[in-house]
């Protein structure tokens, strides 16, 4: 088997944000993936709360500079990078002054979710894909963590499906308990539209609640991982209905999940080789 390439797309990674289920997994898992003989790239948003000086972030000029259009407005894409020396891994940051310069991450000082979180999620996912294209790096697996990465599968499977870098990539979506209380705006389906995306592809976004946004992510994923011990009851039911259609990895004990996740990657890659 060739040396597999795994792309991690996460809403948060330690030590750049405080420890959480997602931040801990996406700090440990990429390192484990490298130790299992795979290549990896890891991306997260460059929130204003990430201290650039302390974490030694620097802009990658050759990757920055393009604009991403959302709702007929241009948004500049800025790419930064930092290294976790103890893990021998780099983390790429998707930045934009309008979306990510604010000092809070997903909620404001009153614990209210930002009203443009849907645009931030879309910009983040588009930014990751465009950066990977500039890197010329073709992932075999794209593993998404957190609802900020929910649009990724839709983009890969529909808008970027003819791009040779992504045409054979397997998308995994990890479902967590990172619920957001207020639905995105009804315009989300319009804002996320690109050539190749149909109304059927965004059917769940007619009412873009956390559950429905997650259902959209599941719809366009090749495999699902239950990343938290207690996920939304409606998602538990929904996942049971699709278990015969695509692989689902049940929740794993935090003390020994790394080996199981890497074996899950291998099973998907073997399946792809058999199909080819």
- Model pLDDT, residue 262: 96
List the chain domain ranges.
5-270
Decide: 231 and 173 in contact? Cβ < 8 Å.
no
Q: What's the topology of domain 5-270?
A: Rossmann fold (3.40.50)
Is the model's pLDDT at 146 over the cut of 60?
Answer: yes
Could you tell me which residues come within 8 angstroms of residue 88 by beta carbon, excluding any fewer than 6 positions away?
31, 34
Residue (of 257, 115, 90) closest to 185 by Cα position: 115
Give tens-digit pLDDT for 214-246: 999 999 999 999 999 999 999 999 999 999 999
Give tens-digit pLDDT for 67-102: 999 988 999 999 999 999 988 999 999 999 999 999
Query: pTM value?
Result: 0.96
Give tens-digit pLDDT for 182-208: 899 989 999 998 999 999 999 999 999
């Amino acid at each position: 088997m060739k040396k597999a390439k795994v792309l991690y797309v996460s809403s948060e990674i330690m030590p750049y944000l405080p420890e959480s289920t997602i931040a801990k997994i996406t700090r440990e898992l990429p390192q484990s993936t490298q130790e299992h003989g795979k290549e990896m790239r890891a991306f997260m948003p460059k929130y204003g709360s990430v201290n650039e000086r302390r974490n030694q972030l620097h802009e990658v000029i050759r990757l920055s500079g393009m604009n991403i259009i959302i709702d007929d407005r241009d948004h500049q894409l800025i790419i930064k990078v930092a290294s976790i020396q103890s893990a021998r891994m780099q983390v790429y940051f998707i930045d934009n002054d309008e979306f990510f310069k604010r000092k809070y991450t997903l909620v404001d000082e009153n614990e209210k979710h930002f009203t443009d979180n849907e645009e931030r999620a879309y910009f983040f996912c588009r930014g990751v894909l465009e950066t990977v294209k500039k890197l010329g790096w073709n992932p075999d697996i794209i593993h998404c963590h957190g609802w900020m990465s929910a649009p990724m599968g839709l983009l890969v499977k529909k808008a970027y499906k003819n791009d040779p870098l992504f045409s054979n990539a397997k998308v995994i979506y990890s479902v967590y308990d990172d619920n957001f209380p207020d639905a995105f705006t009804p315009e989300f389906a319009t804002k996320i539209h690109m050539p190749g995306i149909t109304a059927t592809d965004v059917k769940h976004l007619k009412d873009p609640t956390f559950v429905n946004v997650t259902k959209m992510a599941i719809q366009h994923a090749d495999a699902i991982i239950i990343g938290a011990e207690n996920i939304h009851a409606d998602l538990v039911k929904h996942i049971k209905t699709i278990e015969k259609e695509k692989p689902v990895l049940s929740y794993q004990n935090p003390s020994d999940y790394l080996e199981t996740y890497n074996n899950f990657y291998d099973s998907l890659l073997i399946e792809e080789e058999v199909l080819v």
